[in-house]
């Protein structure tokens, strides 16, 4: 039986980076919902933030993205899917959620120099990241009656602010194996003190 990992989380938390690294290290096929979203934003000649607001009154956007995720997840192969709603649409998946401090997320996005996401200042990036997240949460709450910020939705929650992608990937691999065996484990982890430590949800 194949294993599906649903990767959701904050903007700039490293969802795509972790997904690609997981593919490289463990052979899981990586699929990016963020790439689908940015591609659609470009098709409409909008920034991701503008397209997110547009999506609030155009439900066909989410339906197109969600339909593609459902279709992909039906394949019988080990895969990691980067999408804020994959945990909701991929049954039986290992539900992973990534957190990050907003200022760190903004700097990461600016440093990556994403073509469709350009910000003149760090403050501007922080404000637009917050606005986009609020817009997305509003859509998901109204359309699906779910709250992506409710951490009890997930099997594992990782704060990526203070850890390298390699460290995060190894932690996920460890608890994925525990989850596959049906073992209990602490659900939320941070490396704020320099060492991985469990945090109460």
Domains present along the chain, CATH in parentheses: 4-198 (3.40.50.300)
- Span 18-57, pLDDT tens digits: 999 999 999 999 988 777 777 778 888 988 778 878 877 8
Pairing between β-strand 188-190 and β-strand 197-198 as defined by DSSP bridges: antiparallel
Q: Which of 160, 156, 197 is nearest to 173 (CA)?
A: 156
pLDDT at 142 over 90: no
Which residue reads 């994959």 in tokens? 86
Q: Are 102 and 110 in contact (CB under 8 A)?
A: no
The count of C-alpha atoms lying within 13 angstroms of the C-alpha of 89, restricted to the half-sphere facing its C-beta, is 24
Residue 116 has what pLDDT?
54
Helix (H, G, I), strand (E, B) or coil at 139: helix
Residue 114 has what pLDDT?
58
Residue with more model confidence, 174 or 64: 174
């Amino acid at each position: 039986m194949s294993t599906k990992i649903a990767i959701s989380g904050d903007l700039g938390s490293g969802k795509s980076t972790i997904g690609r690294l997981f593919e490289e290290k463990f052979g899981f096929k990586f699929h990016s919902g963020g790439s689908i979203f940015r591609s659609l934003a470009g098709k409409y000649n909008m920034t991701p933030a503008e397209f997110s607001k547009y999506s609030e009154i155009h439900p066909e956007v989410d339906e197109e993205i969600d339909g593609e995720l459902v279709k992909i997840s039906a394949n019988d192969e080990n895969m990691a899917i980067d999408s804020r709603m994959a945990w909701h649409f991929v049954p039986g998946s290992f539900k992973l959620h990534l957190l990050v401090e907003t200022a760190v997320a903004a700097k990461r996005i600016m440093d990556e120099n994403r073509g469709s996401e350009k910000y003149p200042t760090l403050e501007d990036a922080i404000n637009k990241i917050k606005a986009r997240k609020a817009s997305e949460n509003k859509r998901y709450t109204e359309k699906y009656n779910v709250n992506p910020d409710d951490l009890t939705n997930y099997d594992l929650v990782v704060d990526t602010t203070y850890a390298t992608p390699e460290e995060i990937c190894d932690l996920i691999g460890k608890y994925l194996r525990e989850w596959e065996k049906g073992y209990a484990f602490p659900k939320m982890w941070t490396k704020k003190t320099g060492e991985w430590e469990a945090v109460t949800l």
